[in-house]
Every structure is written in C-alpha cells, then in structure tokens.
Amino acid sequence: MKNIIIIPTLNENDNVNYLYKLIVKKFKIPILFIDDNSKDGTQKKILNLSKKNNLIKYIFRKKRYGIGSAHKEGIKWAYKNKFNVCFTMDADRTHNPLEISKMLKTLKKNNADIIITSRFIKKSSLEDWPVFRKIITKIRYYLVKIVLNTRLDSSGGFRCYNISKIKMKDILLANNNGYFFLIESLFYLEKLNYKIIEIHSNLKYRSSGQSKMRPIDIFSALINLFKLSLFNKI
C-alpha cells in the first residue's frame, strides 16, 4: 500500500521537527504539509527538511484558507498522486503518531474504509485536559451525536482513509473550509454507508504553540450543525 500523512500547519515551527522524527524516521511514510502562510518560520523548517529527505512534501498557501480547506487540498493531492491510504492529523502534538500503525492494522484487518480515533471510548482519553476544555469538548460531542444522529466522534482530525475504496467526490461533498469540515465530511461518509471504525485514542492537551480555533469558529460550527441537519445533500 502507498500511504501518506496530511498535516495542516499554521505557525507550528516548534512542532515540525517532532513530527518528522516520529513519523518519517520511524514509519518511513511521507508527510504532506499544507501550510497557510505561517509567519513563525514553519515554512523554512519544512523546506529544510524536504531538502534533507524526499519523503517531506509541502503545499504553501498565500493566506489562511482554513483547516477544512487544507484537508481537502491534501486529499485531492493524495488522489492525484495515486496513494492508496491517507492519514490526516493535527500538527500540535495532541495526536500521537505512534498510533498510526494501530490505525493501519485495524484498517487492513477489518477491510474498512475509514478509521477514526475517538476520545470517548475510554474515560482516560482526556485525562490531562483542563476541566473547562473537557466540558466544552463533551458538550460538542453529545450535541453533534444528537443533532446529526451519529454514533461517531465526528470532530476529531486524526483519521485514516482508504482512498483506494472511497470516491473522492464523496469526501468532497463537505463544503465547509473550516473546522466544521471534519464533522460534515464524516456525516456524509456515514450516510453513504462507508465502513467506519472508531478506535480509542489518548488525546494529549497541546503542549506547544497556540490553538488556532477562534470564538467565531465555535459560533459558526453551531450554525452549520443545524443547517447540515436540516438541509444536507443526502
């Protein structure tokens, strides 16, 4: 299988080397960084790594188009370059790259289409998070489950897509270019009866850099959640 990992970045200079060491050096899987015009030296660091190792790929964009837009651009690139499996993950160290092998084994063993990591299979998943962030995350989880009638932890970005079995147009049914893309895309893929399996993941609280989520993103997600429930395409 030909695999690739898609990682959107925005001012993640402190984390790029960490990802390189734990992914490329350990798993020998290429990384495609999608950078939204970082101002902290992230792009320079990615360029230097790409000169050192041809498994580092990148797309540098001229402005902040949004994390959903980055996922879509990366997934399109993976299809165009004939990869079989693409992973998506965050750059902020909350997702543990060592779980990649578990995701791939689960995908193969179950002949699945998509593997997603869930923060709600075990209570320990968010144990080092501040209480306030735990509460917000749980409220969002249950709200999405109820409004969209889904069984999945839909807002997480640590995923594994078997794109050799998934039609690109089905992933790209999701229009949103922000954080809501994660929820919207999984909603459509579940409705289209793709085989989606959840596995437990310990989600670490961000230890370096700053969260890119803004209050407007939370407000926008609430509006989009109810719009998707009432006016979806399927």
- Angle, helices 131-148 vs 180-191, to 10°: value is 30
Per-residue tokens: 233: 């395409």
Task: Look at residue 44 in the predicted model and tell me its pLDDT.
Answer: 97
Domain ranges of the chain: 3-231
DSSP annotation of 206 reads P
d(C-alpha 98, C-alpha 83), whole Å: 21
pLDDT at 208: 55
Cα–Cα distance measured from residue 45 to residue 42, given in angstroms and rounded to the nearest whole number: 5
**Res 46: pLDDT:** 97
87 with 103: CB under 8 angstroms? yes
Residue 131 has a pLDDT of: 84
3-231 maps to CATH 3.90.550.10:
yes
Residue 193 burial (CB < 10 Å; 0-12/13-18/19+)? exposed
Residues 137, 151: Cα–Cα separation, whole Å: 16
Q: At what angle do helices 131-148 and 215-231 cross, to 10 degrees?
A: 20
pLDDT at 203: 72
C-alpha distances (whole Å) from 1 to each of 5, 24, 104, 162 are 13, 16, 10, 10
The C-alpha atoms of residue 219 and residue 222 are separated, in whole angstroms, by 5
Q: Mean pLDDT for each consecutive 10-residue tract of the chain (234 residues)? A: 95 93 89 96 96 96 94 98 97 90 96 94 76 85 94 94 98 95 97 96 66 67 91 88
Q: What is the pLDDT of residue 220?
A: 83
For residues 145 and 80, what is the distance between their CA atoms, to the nearest angstrom? 33
Half-sphere exposure of 36 (CA within 13 A, CB side): 20
d(CA 125, CA 122): 6
